[in-house]
Amino acid sequence: MGVRSTLSCNSPDAILPTHPATNAPGSRNVILLRKPSDARIGRFLDDQCSLPFSYSEVGASRDGVPPGYACQPTAGTTGRGAGDVRAGGRSLRRWKMYQTGWTKLCWPDVPITEGTVVGVLGRHFGLRSLNACRIVYVIEEQDSLLRRYGSAFGTLPGRVERGEERFTVEWHRADGSVFYEVFALARPAQPLVTLGPPFGP
């Protein structure tokens, strides 16, 4: 049995309440003055594992943009042929999309399977943020014309935004081209998001 997290609600390091009207577990965004220990991150993730998604349109990134959400798609060509699509798939399985220099995945050795909960530790202007998300679905498709791999992540309570982000890589066999796409759906969970970093994108 996991140890309940006190970091998300009661820690003196948590300085930004997301929903100040409640002290329910996970109801506050964790903004930190210093880097948390692995033990604290583990307690935070234990706390988040039992919580529901923070939005109702779970799985919406499969089909389009639901009303009220901003969409931030990024796509491009990343190579050609079977070797490049395998390399792209390996990068996603190894969580390379979170190796940005200012974010760290907690933990990169967990499997990419539906229901897995991970934390994202970010660094912003001397502060650090700790947020959690859960894998909503995994994509593994293959036919005579297309090979596609990817996964989508949904926000859990305590984040300043709510929504989903999908990462995919696909190989179009007809011309050999390999494409990547990052498809993000987000809406504010509280007004500070509109102020920009470190409170929002």
All structural domains of the chain, each given as residue ranges with its CATH number in brackets, are 30-193 (3.30.530)
Percent of the chain with pLDDT over 70: 78
Tell me the per-residue pLDDT of 84-98, one tens digit each, with 9 for 90 and over. Answer: 999 999 989 888 888
Of the candidates 90, 5, 79, the residue with the CA atom closest to the CA atom of residue 41? 5
Q: What pLDDT does residue 29 have?
A: 53
Say whether pLDDT at 197 is over 80: no
Tokens matching residue 187: 């809406």
What's the mean pLDDT in 94-103? 81
What's the mean pLDDT in 15-30? 44
Tokens matching residue 111: 């499997």
Q: How many CB atoms lie within 10 A of CB 73?
A: 11
SS3 23: coil
Q: What pLDDT does residue 51 have?
A: 93
Q: What pLDDT does residue 191 have?
A: 52
Say whether pLDDT at 139 is over 90: yes
Higher pLDDT, 152 or 100: 152
The segment with the largest mean pLDDT, out of 74-78, 96-100, 195-199, is 74-78
Spatial distance between the Cα atoms of 147 and 124, rounded to a whole number of angstroms? 37
Q: How far is CA 88 from CA 127, 163, 165, 172, in A?
A: 32, 24, 17, 13
Q: Is the pTM of this model over 0.85?
A: no
Q: Lowest-pLDDT range, 135-139, 150-154, 159-163, 182-186?
A: 159-163
The segment with the largest mean pLDDT, out of 133-142, 158-167, 188-197, is 133-142
Q: How many CB atoms lie within 10 A of CB 118?
A: 20
Say whether pLDDT at 103 is over 60: yes
